[in-house]
Amino acid sequence: MEHASAACIGSGISRQLRNDAAISLSMIFVAALVFYLVAASVQALAPSSVFAAGCLLLVIFALVMHGLEFHSVPRFGVANRVTAVRASIISLVSAIIVFDYGAATPDRNQEFLIGLVALALLLDGIDGYLARRFRLESELGWRFDMELDAFLILALSAACYLLDKAGWWVLLVGLMRYVFIIAQRAYPALKRPLPPSFRRKLICVYQVVALLTLLLPFVVPPASIVIAASALVLLVYSFATDVLFLVRADRVS
């Protein structure tokens, strides 16, 4: 019965949505594990990288399942599945950065890492298009996509630091989002919703492209320092603009 398939359980999440999400994420998780094992064999990755990537992806998918109450669409949707695939890629990228820069084939792993990040960047544009095309936009999809972007930027900034492309300050590019979250606790007005901004989207894309460029073997200081500094300056400008907007809005109200 149609009415029964849409029956709500527990916190108000429909059984259809929960089952669809669970099946989708489970299939992607299994496929990701197979890919991790193949990649580890071909690229001579450390076993710890496969284990860490799998654990990180499991945590991400568990958080997605926990956040289904913020998904207003009755099915999980192709857009969220694409984002989940991107999560599997970002999990492996993060694991390689942490565990494999001291491997016996660092240059080979670096090229593989660049390819993975480029693929994740491509999928980042596809999932948003699919959500709009099939009217599957939701707060869950928006948060899923945004937090993955933030985590990828953090991982890439750590890679740039580990590769000596810039000083410790390059980590601020990846930490800025999390500093903002901490600031929201101290100043609740920063939790107010922000209006859509092309500037914000453009600078976010620039962060990923700039950090990806820094991973290229031939991009070295001082050129790498200039690129990293430009990414940080633009990010500080973007966050400062949003913070000032929120502070002014709070004072007016």
Q: Check pLDDT > 90 for residue 7.
A: no
Per-residue pLDDT of 10-55, as tens digits, reads: 455 788 899 999 999 999 999 999 999 999 999 888 899 999 999 9
What average pLDDT does the chain have? 88
Same domain for 175 and 242, yes or no, is: yes
pLDDT at 83 over 60: yes
Residue 104 has pLDDT above 50, yes or no: no
Phi/psi at 221 (5° precision): -60, 145
What are the E-state strand segments in the chain?
A: 8-9, 13-14
Are both 107 and 185 inside the same structural domain? no
User: Per-residue pLDDT for 73 more than 90?
Assistant: no
Assess contact for 15 and 71: CB atoms under 8 A: no
Is-contact 65 21, C-beta < 8 A? yes
> Is residue 69 located within the same domain as residue 174?
no
Residue 225 has pLDDT above 70, yes or no: yes
What pLDDT is attached to residue 235? Answer: 95
Q: What is the pLDDT of residue 101?
A: 63
Q: What is the mean pLDDT of residues 64-75?
A: 90
The 10 Å Cβ neighbour count of residue 78 is 16
What would the mean pLDDT of 70-97 be, rounded to a whole number? 93
Give the confidence band of 130 by pLDDT, cuts at 50, 70, 90.
confident
What's the rounded Cα separation, in Å, for the pair 44 and 41?
5
> Is the CB of residue 88 less than 8 Å from the CB of residue 28?
yes
Range of the domain at 31: 1-140
Domain count, the chain: 2
Are residues 121 and 10 located together in one domain of the fold? yes
Q: How far apart are CA 231 and CA 239, in angstroms?
A: 12
Burial (Cβ within 10 Å: 0-12, 13-18, ≥19) of residue 137: middle
Residue type, 117: V
Identify whether residues 171 and 56 lie together within a single domain: no
Q: The tokens 């820069």 sit on which residue?
A: 101
pTM: 0.88
pLDDT at 3 over 60: no
pLDDT at 59 over 80: yes
Query: Do the domain assignments include residue 157?
Result: no
For residue 105, the model assigns a pLDDT of: 46
Task: Flag whether 159 is in a domain.
Answer: no
Indicate whether 119 and 171 sit together in one domain: no
127 plus 234 within the same structural domain: no
Percent of the chain at pLDDT exceeding 70 = 92
If pLDDT is split at 50, 70 and 90, which confidence band does 1 have?
very low
pLDDT at 5: 38
Cβ atoms 70, 143 nearer than 8 A: yes
